[in-house]
Amino acid sequence: MNSLSETKDASQVQLSRDEIKRYGRHLLMPEVGLEGQKKLKASSVLLIGAGGLGSPAALYLAAAGVGKIGVVDFDVVDHSNLQRQILHGTADIGRPKLQSAAERIHSINPYVVVDLHQVRLDSSNALEIFKNYDVIVDGTDNFPTRYLVNDACVLLHKPNVYGSIFRFEGQASVFYADKGPCYRCLYSEPPPPGLVPSCAEGGVFGVLPGIIGTVQALETIKVLLGIGNPLIGRLLLFDALKMEFRELKLRKNPDCPVCGTNPTIRELIDYEAFCGIPPAMPAEGDAKLEITVEELKMKLDGGQDVFLLDVREPHEYEIANLGGTLIPLHDLPKRVNELDSSHEIVVYCATGIRSGKAVKFLTDVGFRKVKNLVGGISAWAEKIDQTMLSY
């Protein structure tokens, strides 16, 4: 395959004496060499997200000498990021991720130009941001942005280096509609909200994004240099527990709505709506079915007889609990007869997502006095009992 940055004038790029020393191990390899190293310097890569996948990708792309690295993120560094997001350190907690990302990239390689985009990526800004880069690296954590990144890359004829993780499992591919399938050829539609557990519920093994994000960096560099066989038309699957890599064949779908022969999507759409996410806040459900931590505290302090139901997993219960009866969400259907529907029941989990599902299940099977604790045990730890461990 031809390199992408050939369209740019790599021949006009010069490497300084210091850069020649820095990239010496690349220059020794004919597959990279001086010409390839100049191509990398003439090229630009946009990272969507400076999180678990974006971190290792950014570090390696910077070290390899990609000339311009753009980063899109609007988040600030939180304690719970540090287990895997290696762009950020303990001292960065509370700072914008872009700041620590830029500092880390520059500390590795001062020759890299870093472009910071502190915005929430959406249909109004994606094309404008993407058009200035050769390759887009997708390290997002949600379906609307995945489809947005895919469609924008297809419309702009740019390769989308894809990575995704869940618990111990990862996926990677290169979606490049000009040469193979796109993400929509693989999955034409996202799952409805709530059907597939999110990382916030399922957790993620910290080293896993290190593997997948590094695969993304590697594929990006191959695409930029035009060497080897990139993951175009192939989906790489990684199982960390088995330490097993597998590969599936992907085909271009002629009926694909965005890259098929008669595309119906010719501009960016409303991706939140496409993914079934209602405007404003994701529905936590009916207000009657909710209770705040403050309201629960008043009830408990007032000696009211409230049955607390904890629908998390036993290992989460060990970290912190409100003294509730533990029935993990997935066991609820078969253990529902342990509950007394005449009692007032307050269901909680870590953040209110799983308990929301439990409340829906319980009301569906006829429970009438059941409420979801808004914000879950995290809200309790923040607002009521600061000595409680939050995770």
CB 171 within 8 A of CB 187: no
Give strand ranges (E) for 176-233.
none
217, 172 contact by CB (below 8 A): no
- Binding residue (CB under 8 A) for other proteins from 96, 197, 260, 263: 197
Alpha-carbon span 51 to 182, nearest angstrom: 23
CA distances from residue 62 to 69, 178, 219, 228, 231 in whole angstroms, order as listed: 8, 27, 14, 21, 21
* Annotated catalytic residue 259: no
Which residue of 196, 273, 298, 389 would you call a contact of other proteins, by CB under 8 A? 196
Q: Is 200 in the site for other proteins (CB under 8 A)?
A: yes
Residue from 70, 159, 190, 376 in contact with other proteins (CB under 8 A): 190
Gap between the Cα atoms of 177 and 159, Å rounded: 7
* Residues 15-54 within binding reach of other proteins (CB under 8 A): 49-54
| 312 lies in the binding site for other proteins (CB under 8 A) | no
Binding test (CB under 8 A) with other proteins, winner from 250, 293, 353, 359? 250
182 catalytic residue (yes or no): no
Q: Which residues contact 240 (CB under 8 A, 6 or more apart)?
A: 168, 169, 170, 205, 207, 208, 211
Please identify which of the residues 153, 185, 275, 349 carries the catalytic annotation.
Answer: 349
Number of residues that bind other proteins (CB under 8 A): 54
Cβ(189)–Cβ(146) under 8 Å?
Answer: no
How many CB atoms lie under 10 A from the CB of residue 11? 11
Task: Restricting to residues 126-165, name those near other proteins by CB under 8 A.
Answer: 138-143, 146, 163-165
Q: Which of 6, 19, 75, 103 binds other proteins (CB under 8 A)?
A: 75
Q: Shortest distance, CB of residue 128 to other proteins, whole angstroms?
A: 22
The alpha-carbon radius of gyration of the chain (Å, integer) is 24
Binding region for other proteins (CB under 8 A): 49-54, 73, 75, 80-81, 84-85, 138-143, 146, 163-169, 171, 186-191, 195-200, 202-204, 208-209, 235, 237, 246-251, 330, 333
